[in-house]
Each structure stands twice: as C-alpha cells, then as structure tokens.
Amino acid sequence: MAAPDTRIRIVDQGLDLISRSGLAGVTLGGLAAEVGMSKSGLFAHFKSKDAVQIALLDRMAEVANRVVVAPAMAAPAGLARLRALVGNWIGWSDRAGLSGGCPVAAALFELDDLDGAVRAKVELMEGNWRGLLRGLVGEAVGRGEFRADVDADQFVFELCGVYLTHHASHRFLRDPQADGRARIAFEALIVRAQPTPQEWATAPDQTPGETP
C-alpha cells in the first residue's frame, strides 16, 4: 500500500482532534503537535486556522456521506429512507471511528456568537443537512405515509432536538439508555406525523373504519 499523502494524513488526524476538542482545539500549533510536524511544515499545506478548520469540516462531510447518507439511499424513498438515514445519523461519529463527538453539533454551540468563514461553512453544512431531512419528510408526505398538513420544518426542528439530546446524553452524561431513548422519541415524532385512524375513517374516499 502506498504511504498516505501528507495532506490526507493531516486532515484525518485533524478530524479526530476536532471531534474531541471542538474547533477551539484546532489551532495550527495544536494540529501540528497532534500530527507530529512543525508549525511551518503544516503551514505548507494550510495557510490559516480558518483554512485548516474548513478542510476538516469538508473531510467530515465526506466521512458522514459515506457512513450516514450513502447507505440510507439504498432504502426505498419516503419514510423507510428517513428511518434509515436517522438510524445511521444518531451516534454516527462512533461508527465512523472518531474518538469524539459530532463536530457540527459542537460547532452549533461553539460558534453561535461568533462570525466569520468557519461559521459560514457550518451554516452551509447544517442548511444542506436540514434540506436533505426536509426532502425526505416531503417524500413521506407525497407517498401518504405522513399527513399532507405536516410541517416539514417543524419536523426537522424536533428531529434535530432528538439528535442533540442523544448527543448530550450519550457523550456528556454517558447514559447507556441514550440510544433507546432517541429511538422512542423519533418513533413518537413519526406517529404524530402519520395519518390518524380517525382521519382515515373520515377521509371522503373511505368508508368509516375501513382499513386503508
């Protein structure tokens, strides 16, 4: 096997560092120490702290795409795909082999009161992610798996809450029940979005009580 390219090695070790220490832990000096090279050696690859943090976030997106998104796309469209995606998403950083938590989740709290290129990058990533979730909710509506009046933005707002509270319970409180609690919360969110038996029964094209 060929020796890995230095830039790739820096980015992979940096992604692990960011997952443990957050963006604040990724300075040029801190990352140089982590990868065992001089700060000037690192500077040959990245010209600024912002540039290196953005490269690490891009690498995170690649990893998350491979671990979370791509496998879920094999599931049938609509609710099945949403379930697959959420199942892959919750706790994904463990399964991706990172030694810390989700860098974007941490950045939502770390960068909220700051401005600049790294915040803009996280905002773009978070917007894309929520757009993907919203699209799957829309698919489930289109297929009649969710009610037509489901507010996809509200659904995604609450689903992100399930993700964040799982992250806090699993990683900070180290609660062994976090996975199970997240599943219960997600299923309750789905049940709220599904057509109710009463709605089926009173739909104009259905005989009351008829199984759809």
Helices 6-21 and 103-110, packing angle to 10 deg: 60
Q: For residue 135, which of 210, 88, 91, 85 has the smallest C-alpha distance?
A: 85
Backbone angles phi, psi at 31, to 5 degrees: -70, -40
Which residue in the set 6, 13, 21, 194 belongs to the binding site for its own copies (CB under 8 A)?
Answer: 21
Q: How far apart are the first and last CA of the chain?
A: 57
The amino acid at residue 196 is T
Nearer to its own copies, 45 or 126 (CB): 126
Tell which residue, 113, 114, 140, 112, has the closest CA to residue 126.
Answer: 112
Of 10, 101, 141, 150, which lies in the binding site for its own copies, with binding defined by CB under 8 A? 101
Q: Is 177 exposed, middle or buried (0-12, 13-18, 19+ CB in 10 A)?
A: exposed
Q: Contact between 124 and its own copies (CB under 8 A)?
A: no
Q: Which of 24, 73, 117, 124: binder of its own copies (CB under 8 A)?
A: 24
Min dist. Cβ of residue 44 to its own copies (A) = 27
108: Cβ contacts below 8 Å, ≥ 6 apart: 122, 126, 164
Task: Kindly state the smallest distance separating residue 101's Cβ from its own copies, in Å.
Answer: 5
Question: Of the two residues 45 and 192, which places its CB atom closer to its own copies in the complex?
Answer: 192
Encoded one letter per residue, x for contact with its own copies by CB under 8 A and - for no contact, window 58-97 reads ----------------------------------------
- Closer to its own copies by CB, 80 or 158: give it: 158
Is residue 20 a contact point for its own copies (CB under 8 A)? Answer: yes
Choose, by CB under 8 A, the member of 128, 154, 196, 202 that binds its own copies.
154
